[in-house]
Amino acid sequence: MEKAICFMFLPTTKQELKNWGWDRLDVILVSGDAYIDSSYSGVAVIGRVLQKAGYRVGIIAQPDMDSGEDISRLGAPRLFWGITSGCVDSMVANYTALGKKIKQDDFTPGGVNDRRPDRAVIAYTNLVRRYFKETAPIVLGGVEASLRRVSHYDFKSKSIRRSILFDAKADVLVYGMGEKAVLELAAALDKGEDWRNIRGICFADKAKPEGFLEPPSHQAVSKDKAQFSEMFRAFQENQDPETARGFCQLQDTRYLIHNPPQPLPGAEELDGFYELDYQRDAHPYYAEQGPVRALDTIRFSLTTHRGCFGQCNFCAITAHQGARVHCRTEASILREAERITALPGFKGYIADVGGPTANMFGSACKKQGGPGACAHKRCLWPKPCPNLVFGHDKQMALLRKLGALPGVKKAFVASGIRYDLILADGKQGAAYLRQILKDHTSGQMKIAPEHAVDPVLHFMGKPGGEGLERFKEMFDALESRLGKKQFLTYYFMAAHPGCTLNHMRSLSKYVQEKLRTRPQQVQIFTPTPSTYSTLMYYTGKNPFDGKPVFVEKNPPAKQDQKDALTGPAPKPKSRPADKRHRKGRRRG
């Protein structure tokens, strides 16, 4: 029985290697998350994609940093080590916007945040080097590596750090959703061929490739905010696979060589990534250490697409998944749903059908497949582009078919929904919202206006506040006609660059008078690498016009902004001290 269970997952222990009959792995993947064998886990996707291509792959999740026991248990790989912090940047996973340690981690067995080291990509690379002096190349990947691949502002240290490739002293960095690049890299390493021209990777070299752009050096950008802004623009303007040029940035005596992105996978290719033999569960080695809470939301969920053309200034999705939405086929999603219905514990409810933004499924630009994304124009800001073709009809049809599958009682849409897309779709928007409210919510619908004061929304790259009122009117009218008790859940943000305490007070008044609620889903802006909002936070200037921007950097003042909307958090009730404890303290 143990052997059968182990064959269902990629190996993670020495005993499993014996069960597979393997004496050595081609690739070992190291992750800051527990090993969840799911398409929602990047390390599992890369592992399964490599496995399908014929490579022997193992996973070491959350290795102990104080010994070599974990990192050494599978030996050394033949081709390469793959290092990732997990599904979240480790500094975002470990610290709040006010710099406090986060106690909970949904990707750690038991839920206590004590297994993911700070700067996990660097820490794990050092761990490998410590116990394997001469070993296969080390390849970085995942969100942390992707967002920190060039010189970047680091919120924790309040400094400009080098590319994480250099600080980790790794050999290669794969950025973005890395399936295609990893397959090409594995094939090149296996054949002993040159891999330096593979798209979607970064590496270090003393020579500059011919024809590559050269933004300001790390030394220059670390001392001059104007130079940092120039470098950042070059980085942002070379993300589209159709138009991007490679660039090289001098980091020390060597250059960071940043090849252009990989072409986006076609629909059938994307289907293949999501229809691999995932077990949708935590590997038994990790499951026995405690429940992994992330499984509560992803075990019975479906990903329909990747990418987001919302391009909010504070969001890093564009830098990792891209600004174009690319979708799976309806047939593939339905096949995956049928497999979900056969899983143990499935009670008829698909928890989520969506992606970074649920109602972008099926949407596209009329120019898609042509010259690439518009260089100086956004799809949704300041208002939806007339070239945008909405996909609400396609998602409605998909949801109806999912709901009609044998064994499915409900297919929920729990991912965030862009209400401005619904308002802009004069043909299907109202019908889409009606279907969502009638059949695909569990009583709450999530939207993320982030703010409602226009000057702040301008800095966020979000639509104006008047649309939120129109949407609420539409929502309330439909809810009344349907006779169902439904709620809108609003996500707001405090202390974003350009936001003052008075702006938050105005937002509080707006929320109480217009939305008639007091929201609790309020986060304080966290500067994360590779976003325009973080560029504003660091430079104090609007990168699009060069004008000064107010930036709140004082932690208590940031909390005041949040409290203006939510009210101050209740103070914990004091309990009478235990008399024996007090007596003991006096003696000590």
Phi, psi of 415 (to 5 degrees): -65, 160
Q: By three-state DSSP, how is residue 204 classified?
A: strand
Pairwise CA distance, residues 124 & 116, whole Å: 10
Cα–Cα distance for residue pair 528/243, rounded to 1 Å: 25
Find out whether 308 is annotated in a ligand binding site: yes
Residue found by looking up tokens 């950042």 in the block: 232
Q: Could you tell me the two tokens for 52?
A: 């399908």
What is the maximal distance between C-alpha atoms in the chain?
A: 79
**Beta strands at 281-282 and 36-37: parallel, antiparallel or unpaired:** antiparallel
CA–CA gap between residue 410 and residue 402 (Å, rounded): 8
Tokens of 157: 């240290």
d(CA 585, CA 588): 5
Report CA-CA distances (Å) from 393 to 216, 356, 387, 396, 542: 46, 18, 17, 5, 38
Identify whether the C-beta of residue 137 lies closer than 8 Å to the C-beta of residue 129: no
Q: Up-side HSE of residue 53: CA atoms within 13 Å toward CB?
A: 20
Is 365 marked as a binding-site residue? no
First to last CA, the chain: 56
312 is in an annotated binding site: yes
As beta bridge partners, residue 523 has 493
- Report in angstroms the alpha-carbon separations of 220 from 49, 226, 228, 348, 534: 40, 9, 8, 57, 18
Q: 108: which 2 tokens? A: 């750690």
Binding site, by residue number, is 308, 312, 315
Binding site for [4Fe-4S] cluster, by residue number, is 308, 312, 315
